Amino acid sequence: MLAESLFFSAVLFTIGVVGVLTRRNAIIIFMCVELMLNAVNLTFVAFAQVYGAAGQVFVFFVMTVAAAEAAVGLAIIIALFRHRQTVNLSNINLLKG
């Protein structure tokens, strides 16, 4: 089922990218990044079935990085909300020239 897994993974990754480009809510953009990580994990697991279980070890590491990223990222979003009272990225444009 390698080809099917790669198909599902490619579609999910693209949905994540389009979500990042079209949405303006910081939390939803953050969840789209998680969706992209999940799509790549599916590729890792599919290849692990064909090339050996070492690929699953990388899924383990990706999950750890995602958990760390969620903790720090959501703390940043809360700090941002305290400052600006919004998580809409259209209103957070301090660095825009």
Partner 1 sequence: MGHNELPLFYVFHFYFFGIVAIVSAVAFVTRKSPVAAALWLVTTMFSLAALYVLLDAHFIGAMQVLVYAGAIMVVFLFVIMLLNLGHASELADGRGMWWKLAAGAVGLALLAQVFALTRARLPEALMLPENALADQVARTGAIAPLAGPLFHEYLLAFEVTSVLLLAAVVGAVVLGKRKEREHAR
Binding site for partner 1 (CB under 8 A): 1-8, 10-19, 21-25, 27-28, 30-32, 34-35, 38, 41-42, 45-46, 48-54, 56-57, 59-61, 63-72, 74-79, 81-82, 86-88
Q: How far is the CB of 75 from partner 1 (least distance, A)?
A: 4
Identify which of residues 21 and 97 has a Cβ nearer to partner 1 in the complex: 21
Identify which of residues 90 and 94 has a Cβ nearer to partner 1 in the complex: 90
Identify which of residues 24 and 94 has a Cβ nearer to partner 1 in the complex: 24
Identify which of residues 54 and 95 has a Cβ nearer to partner 1 in the complex: 54
Q: How far is the CB of 78 from partner 1 (least distance, A)?
A: 6
Q: Return d(Cα 61, Cα 59) in angstroms, integer.
A: 5
